[in-house]
Amino acid sequence: MIRHIVVTGAASGIGRQTALRFAALGDRLTLVDVQQDRLDAVATECGTAGADDVRTAVLDLRSGTAPRTMIEEAWDIAPVDVLVNSAGVYPATPFRSLDADTWDAVLDLNTRAPLLATVALANKAVDAGRRANVVNISSGAALRARPGAAPYATSKAALEMATRASALELGPLGIRVNAVAPGFVTVDSTANPVTEDYAAAVSGNPLGRRGVPDDIARAVVWLAGDEAEWITGEILRVDGGSSAGALNLPLHWPTDLTKKEQHD
């Protein structure tokens, strides 16, 4: 069955690779971003990869009406089966420099837009008597705050709760909602650049390498597929094991348990 997949933030990084993964399955795609030139390039790649049909939409999802417009216009092409909310921003803003505009810019795109897009898709799907599937892109920052990332970490923590809350209410209506929470992934983003010092500081994990967009894309495609049909409200952490604990701490106290006096 050919599905209709909507991917936001599709012009680069995780969004781009996710679109290519769905394209290889022959799905119909609606790719959404604010970067027209890069979006067009990805659309061409998806066509080459095997997508049945590829459409692009240049939208700023920070607008309160844009998420609904996105779903309605995509639905006019064909009913939407899968929504991947990958668009996001990650500004570096020291806490004492925060203001309302900075806060709103992050929360509007990272949290409100996925929530409103999910509402719009749910209403369309229920009215049409169809099932649907949503995969949000969260972050390890939802669990661990970072300097300069108070709005971002808050937005992703809120997105994870929105994922659970929407899954709870929409599950009985045939709509699954899950999230993938990446660890540090090298995406070479012009919208969300990071220094090598920062990357080195946050990318340590038990599996010993940095993530790449395809690590996340594979998880998204799996969650959106039939093999995950009994999973909803789940946050799948794809992070090389970094959320398992602090890898680089020394032993808190070297102990020789062979000594009799150290046994209980």
Q: Which active-site residues does the annotation give?
A: 152
- Quote the CA–CA distance of 78 and 195 in Å, as a whole number: 41
Quick count: other Cβ atoms within 10 Å of Cβ 126?
Answer: 15
Which residues, at least 6 apart from 240, have a Cβ–Cβ distance to it below 8 Å? Answer: 183, 205, 206, 207, 208, 209, 210, 211
Strand partners, 211: 185
Calculate Rg over the CA atoms of the chain: 20
Instruction: Report the alpha-carbon distance of residue 162 to residue 158 in Å, rounded.
Output: 6
DSSP secondary structure code for residue 93 in this structure: -
Phi then psi for residue 28, to 5 deg, are: -85, 140
Helix, strand, coil percent values for the chain (each to nearest 5): 45, 15, 40
